Amino acid sequence: MLAMSDINCIKHLRNTKGLSISEIQKTLGINWRTAKKYADEDQLPGEKQTKKTGMMYEEKWGEIVSGWLFEDRRLKRKLRRNKKQMFEELKTHGFPGSYRTVCYFIDDWRRSHSDDRPDKGYDRLTHPPGEAQVDFGTMETVQDGEFVDVHTLVMSFPYSNAAVAVPLPGENQECLLHGLKVLFHQCGGVPKRIRIDNLTPAVKKIRSRFGEAELTDAFIQFQNHYGFEVQVCNPGSGHEKGSVENKVGYVRYNFFSASPVMESFEQLSEILHAQLARDRSRLHYEKNVPIETLWNDEQHHLLYLPTTDYPVFRTLEGRVNKYNEVTLDQTRIHIPRAANHPRLHLVLTWDRYKAVTDDGEILADDHRPYMNRRRAIPWQMVVKGWIHKPRIIAYSRYEKYLPGRVKDYLLVEDIQLRKARLNTLANLLVTHDMKQINEAFYEVLSTAEEDPYGVDWTHYDALAPAQTGGGTS
């Protein structure tokens, strides 16, 4: 068949130019019958059906194998012939083809006769209002000048595409249940149904094709109190809660791309709640309606919050060694007089622990160890980078993490002075961390009579190395 451009040329020569078929033949150098066909006949589109070719489709061999396959479908699987057996049997009937030809035909036949096989395609899900999906995402913040990894529990509502989130120090049972409580109050109600993956704090037996997932007793008790239903995803099936999977990434890349400064988990939770509330002013990606409008409608489908508060805690028995130490959150904690008691009970909430004896005496009440896990900001590397480009300090992502006095000391107008002070700071960071240096600033400023930002670094003999050198203003 000719290309459409060639057919159009023939039609043009025939109908517009008025050439004869013979003239068109000579002009284009094509066969006379071809010129006649495309010049005078209508070229109407028609459905194309590709006919399979080859000995298995054009001769008796395909029919024979199809009959065997139909017969075998009625038998138990262990009694069915395999491809090799069918090929060997065909050869006894004079089959001239190869084993690969038979295999291709059998695979093709099974694909077209797979009514008893599960559909490999996905159904497009519809999400009624009042249903939510929940998942954790790990994100980075800065607290007291050090990096802190927070585990943000995100709850997404697929109907409206609204979301709420709460930062937590871990992903254990206490954090999950406390986080859900906070999210319910942020929503002003409880979702009718929550879809989760196989979170260890909630699921003690992972769902399989032979049965449903088995929830932990603590999670079932929490669920009964708030009245929501639970749907547990199949293992390795993140698409079953794709809304919250996408929302975790959205929260991470929009609100945590530059690590926010965190004073406390409660303060960061309020900031995140306000940011996500403002985010609802944008249009829904599919419905072309503001998310806020859909969210206001969806809130009417939420369950009421119970009037009785649910206490979230867990109790376990602490094993005390001879040094009065117990292990909690993979950390040894020293508890005075703990070894004097035969047993010690640890009452755990999401952020604190209490060590209680059998008599009810509280031996310790403090923050859980993971509340103090930090990673140092690589200040030495950052400051060395600033030395080469001192003007960028005010625009650096690390500027907001500088302690107050150090920041004021560095951000002077004179670029040469700024560079000299950066060198001084870099020398101090060799043997001391930024927090120690900032504390030393307060000691010097309390006794200095000169301008506080023209610090005389000779006061730092106890802190700075001997070769620190200049740095005075």
In a domain, 249, yes or no: yes
Last residue within a domain, chosen from 344, 372, 400: 372
253 and 171 inside one domain: yes
Average pLDDT over residues 431-454: 61
Please list, in sequence order, all residues whose beta carbon lies within 8 angstroms of the beta carbon of residue 203, skipping any fewer than 6 positions away: 196, 213, 214, 215, 216, 219, 232
More confident residue, 25 or 469: 25
- The answer as to whether 119 is a domain residue is no
Span 320-369, pLDDT tens digits:
888 888 889 888 989 888 888 878 899 999 999 999 988 888 999 999 99
Q: How confident is the model at residue 164 (pLDDT cuts 50, 70, 90)?
A: very high
Is the model more confident about 255 or about 46?
Answer: 255
CB 139 within 8 A of CB 150: yes
Determine contact, residues 191/130, Cβ cutoff 8 Å: yes
| Tokens (6 digits) for 252 | 């991470």
What's the Rg (C-alpha) of the chain? Answer: 37
Q: Decide which of 338, 372, 406 is a domain's last residue.
A: 372
In whole angstroms, give the CA distance from residue 104 to residue 179.
55
Confidence at residue 472, expressed as pLDDT on a 0 to 100 scale: 39
146 and 292 belong to one structural domain: yes
How confident is the model at residue 340, as a pLDDT?
Answer: 87
Torsion angle, alpha carbons of 235, 256, 436, 447, to 10: -150
Give the pLDDT band (50/70/90) at residue 49.
low
Q: Please state, in angstroms and rounded to a whole number, the distance separating the CA atoms of residues 401 and 246.
A: 29
Q: Say if 403 falls within a structural domain.
A: yes
Q: What is the mean pLDDT of residues 432-443?
A: 76
- So what's the pLDDT on residue 116? 52
Among the candidates 276, 299, 322, a domain finishes at 299
The per-residue pLDDT for 8 is: 81
Give yes or no: residues 367 and 383 share one domain: no
The residues, ordered by sequence, that sit 6+ positions from 335 with a Cβ below 8 Å of its Cβ are 320, 324, 325, 326, 344, 355, 363, 364
CATH code: domain of residue 151: 3.30.420.10
Instruction: From 42, 40, 43, 89, select the one nearest 64 (Cα to Cα).
Output: 89
307 belongs to a structural domain? no
CA angle 318, 320, 323 (to 5 degrees): 150
pTM score over 0.75: no
The mean pLDDT value of the chain amounts to: 83
Q: ∠200-344-367 over CA atoms, to 5°? A: 60
- Considering the domain boundaries, does residue 228 fall inside one? yes
322 and 283, same structural domain? no
Q: Three-state secondary structure along the chain?
A: CCCHHHHHHHHHHHHHCCCCHHHHHHHHCCCHHHHHHHHHCCCCCCCCCCCCCCHHHHCHHHHHHHHHHHHHCCCCHHHCCCHHHHHHHHHHCCCCCCHHHHHHHHHHHHHHCCCCCCCCCCCCCCCCCCEEEEEEEEEEEEECCEEEEEEEEEEEECCCCEEEEEEECCCCHHHHHHHHHHHHHHHCCECCEEEECCCCCCEEECCECCECCEECHHHHHHHHHHCCEEEECCCCCHHHHHHHHHHHHHHHHHHCCCCCECCCHHHHHHHHHHHHHHHCCCECCCCCCEHHHHHHHHHCCCECCCCCCCCCCEEEEECCCCCCEEEECCEEEECCCHHHCCCEEEEECCCEEEEECCCCCEEEEEECHHHHCCEECCHHHHHHHHHHCHHHHHHCCCHHHCCHHHHHHHCCCCHHHHHHHHHHHHHHCCCCCHHHHHHHHHHHHHHCCCCCCCCCHHHHCCCCCCCCCCCCC
> Is residue 388 in a domain?
yes
**How many CA atoms lie within 13 Å of 417's alpha carbon, on the beta-carbon side?**
12
Does one domain contain both 141 and 11? no
| Residue-level pLDDT at 463 | 55
* The predicted structure's pLDDT at residue 59: 86
Give the per-residue pLDDT at 181: 95
Higher pLDDT, 424 or 464: 424
Determine phi and psi for 146, rounding to 5 degrees.
Answer: -135, 150
Q: What is the pLDDT of residues 284-317, one digit of tens each?
A: 888 899 999 999 999 999 999 999 999 999 999 9
Domain shared by 253 and 139, yes or no: yes
> Bridge partners of 149?
140
Query: Is position 47 within any domain?
Result: no
Q: Hey, what are 270's tokens?
A: 């309020």
pLDDT of residue 470: 43
Rounded to whole angstroms, the Cα distance separating 355 from 331 reads 15
Asked if 250 and 242 touch (Cβ cutoff 8 Å), the reply is: no
Q: Which amino acid is at 107?
A: D
Categorize the per-residue pLDDT at 199 as very low, low, confident or very high, splitting at 50, 70 and 90: confident
Q: Smallest Cα–Cα separation from 469: which of 436, 428, 437? A: 428
How many domains, the chain?
5
285 and 339, same domain (yes or no): no
Same domain, 163 and 252: yes
Task: Specify the amino acid at residue 452.
Answer: P
When pLDDT is averaged across residues 448-469 and rounded to a whole number, the result is 47
Q: Per mean pLDDT, which range of 217-221, 389-393, 434-438, 462-466 is the poorest?
A: 462-466
Residues ≥6 apart with Cβ < 8 Å to 237? none
Q: What is the mean pLDDT of residues 366-380?
A: 88
> Do 83 and 194 lie in a common domain?
no
Same domain, 149 and 19: no
Does residue 323 sit in the same domain as residue 290?
no
Structural domain span for residue 80: 55-112
- Residue 6: the pLDDT is 79
Whether residue 376 contacts residue 352, with contact meaning beta carbons closer than 8 Å, is answered with no
Tokens coding 48: 């194309």
Q: Is there a single domain that holds both residue 187 and residue 139? A: yes
pLDDT digits (tens, 9 = 90+) for 179-194: 999 999 999 999 999 9
pLDDT higher than threshold 90 for residue 119: no
